[in-house]
């Protein structure tokens, strides 16, 4: 599986045409304590760069954008009862949704882990 990152601090882990999406550790640290997460509905069609989910913290509410276009296959139901999973495991159990990728070429503009680390270090 290959993991990519966006400039909006989402990560996407790709396995064939399936992918899992969440926010990075950097993003959750900027948000603070997460109190609510709204994931997209199963079957929803997402467009690259479009709104996909909502995350609210004690500091702010923020949109989570789709790193690629595709159809949602699953939202992380665990986040309903325990939104703090995004704080404790942002790049693991705190994932937001899974989708089937519509156009794999959209991955080309995303960063690998080394480039993302360099990007965050420059902020």
pLDDT digits (tens, 9 = 90+) for 60-94: 999 999 999 999 999 999 999 999 999 999 999 99
Instruction: Please state, rounded to an integer, the average pLDDT across all residues of the chain.
Output: 97
What pLDDT, on the 0 to 100 scale, is given for residue 15? 97
What pLDDT band is residue 111 in, cutting at 50, 70 and 90? very high
Bridge-based pairing state of the strands 70-75 and 45-46 = antiparallel
What pLDDT, on the 0 to 100 scale, is given for residue 89? 98
pLDDT digits (tens, 9 = 90+) for 13-40: 999 999 999 999 999 999 999 999 999 9
Instruction: Tell which residue, 38, 39, 31, has the closest CA to residue 60.
Output: 31
The helix/strand/coil state of 27 is helix
Q: Let me know: does 42 contact 73? Beta carbons within 8 Å.
A: yes
The model scores a pTM over 0.95: yes
Element (H, E) at 116: helix 113-121
What pLDDT, on the 0 to 100 scale, is given for residue 43? 98
- CATH numeric code, 2-104: 2.40.50.100
């Amino acid at each position: 599986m290959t993991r990519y990152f966006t400039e909006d601090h989402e990560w996407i882990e790709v396995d064939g045409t399936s992918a899992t999406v969440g926010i990075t550790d950097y993003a959750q640290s900027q948000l603070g304590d997460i109190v609510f997460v709204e994931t997209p509905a199963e079957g929803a069609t997402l467009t690259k760069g479009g709104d996909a989910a909502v995350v609210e913290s004690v500091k702010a509410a923020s949109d989570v954008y789709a790193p690629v276009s595709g159809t949602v296959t699953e939202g992380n139901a665990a986040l309903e009862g325990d939104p703090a999973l995004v704080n404790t495991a942002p790049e693991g159990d705190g994932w937001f949704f899974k989708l089937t990728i519509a156009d794999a070429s959209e991955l080309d503009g995303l960063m690998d882990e080394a480039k993302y680390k360099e990007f965050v270090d420059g902020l």
